[in-house]
Structure 1
Amino acid sequence: MSLSLSMAAFALAASISPGPVNIVALGSGARHGLRASLRHAAGATLGFCLLLVLTGLGLHELLLRWPLLGQLLHWGGVAFLLYMAWKLASDDGRLGDDRQAKAPGAWQGAAMQWLSPKAWLAAVAGIGAYVGNEQQLLWLFTWIYGPICFVSVASWAWAGSMIRQYLGEPRRLRLFNRGLAGLLVASAGYLVLG
């Protein structure tokens, strides 16, 4: 297997697997449709690519030197996951009135990546496995990872948009959103207890 193909396989496995960013994309697709959810997917992709590049340039070592910064990111991640869970759980379930609730945007997608332990693990593991200290490989890995990340997050939004027709009744969408909120709370709980 070539290095590029191996990088692509890693990027796909890390990006398509369930995690907070993909849970929000699924909920956004179900609530707002695919088109409105693509901003979240684009922001998540750009946020992760920036995290990947900065990790490759030494951000991880900075966090090891200043553990307080790492703790701030950790607790910020917990707070952000709980905030997103609250937004999902408090949604009224009505699809027709988009003035009340807006789809998560690019900034939320990017912030979720920076606050997601899954994203940090993927960035650190990917840099360790494929890049090391070779900047040329860092740029190759980032160029491969970006489109795969976007398609992966967008596929969760697409899946949400496909089940939207079954969630047309507000009660069903509320139950769906509360289930997704529960998954985000579980992710935050894992961060606190794990």
Structure 2
Amino acid sequence: MSIDLLPALLAFCFVGVITPGPNNLMLMASGANYGFRRTVPHMMGVGLGMPVLVVLVGIGIIRVFETWPIVQTVLTVLSVAYLLFLAWKIATAAPPARTGDVEVAGKPLTFLQAALFQWVNPKAWFMALSAITLYAAGRDPLAILWVAGAYVGVSTISTTSWTALGQQMRRFLGSPMRLRVFNWTMAALLVATLIPVLWPA
């Protein structure tokens, strides 16, 4: 990949990761429910899980989809089922109980859970496949690493911004009723991200 394409690559990756999607909605919900600090492992899982997916797509997985399209269909079905499960978990999340100043109930996603989530995140697959097709079409290892590195950089901005937004909303969501409405709204929006997957244009 030519260095002249780097600004376009960064812009492509930034637009992809900063716009609403499963990762960002879940990070905002986690920031609102658990705070920024407890969401850091979730943020790191997203920030590093996505580039790993990009690398693996670039070095071979994309060929699997091209050879056996049924694999992509099976992955789509699993992704939809898991996202619906996560939406239900968010919608029914209990408000964190408190002991003094320490929240003791509820668990945000771990680093590993957030990283593995990228494998069933339809938006992550779309971004990885599109980025490789556009900016590493020749499957050159250096070009694939450039794409992965771009996602590392822009994900830092995105994960921090969405988690901080959720944390700032905690003051408004102080009552259990408001938090419950917020969680159901986030769950509904998460389900809405499946519309392009189920009914592509």
TM-score, length-scaled by structure 2: 0.88
How far apart are the structure 2 equivalents of 1:122 and 1:95?
37
Per the alignment, residue 84 of structure 2 pairs with 82
Displacement of 1:190: 4.6
Point out the more displaced range, 10-19 or 143-152: 143-152
Displacement of 1:49: 0.6
Per the alignment, residue 184 of structure 1 pairs with 190
For the pair 1:103 / 2:105, whether they are aligned, the reply is no
How far apart are the structure 2 equivalents of 1:131 and 1:137?
5
Q: Which of these residues, 30, 45, 51, is aligned with residue 32 of structure 2?
A: 30
Summarize deviations over 1:97-116 as a string: whole Å, max 9, x none. 74431011222322332112
For the pair 1:168 / 2:199, whether they are aligned, the reply is no
How far apart are the structure 2 equivalents of 1:150 and 1:73?
27
Q: Which of these residues, 3, 7, 16, is aligned with residue 9 of structure 2?
A: 7
Unaligned runs of 5+ in 1: none
Q: Which structure dedicates a bigger proportion of its chain to helix? A: 1
Summarize deviations over 1:58-85 as a string: whole Å, max 9, x none. 2111023223322221111111111111
Summarize deviations over 1:12-71 as a string: whole Å, max 9, x none. 111101101110000000001111112111111222111111111121110232233222
Displacement of 1:153: 1.9
For the pair 1:153 / 2:159, whether they are aligned, the reply is yes
How far apart are the structure 2 equivalents of 1:158 and 1:79?
28
Q: Which of these residues, 43, 51, 54, is aligned with residue 52 of structure 1?
A: 54
Cα contact 2:98–2:105 (8 A) shared by 1: no
- Output the amino acid matched with 1:57: I
Point out the more displaced range, 162-171 or 97-106: 97-106
Q: How many residues align?
A: 194
Q: Which of these residues, 119, 130, 136, is aligned with residue 135 of structure 2?
A: 130
TM-score, length-scaled by structure 1: 0.91
Residue aligned with 1:164, SS: coil
Per the alignment, residue 148 of structure 2 pairs with 142
Matches for 1:61-80 after TM superposition, within 5 Å: 61-80=63-82
Q: Report the identity percentage.
A: 33
- Output the amino acid matched with 2:148: T
Point out the more displaced range, 41-50 or 23-32: 41-50
Point out the more displaced range, 183-192 or 140-149: 183-192
Cα contact 1:95–1:168 (8 A) shared by 2: no
Displacement of 1:95: 5.6
Unaligned runs of 5+ in 2: none
Displacement of 1:168: 1.0
For the aligned residue pairs, the C-alpha RMSD in angstroms reads: 1.9
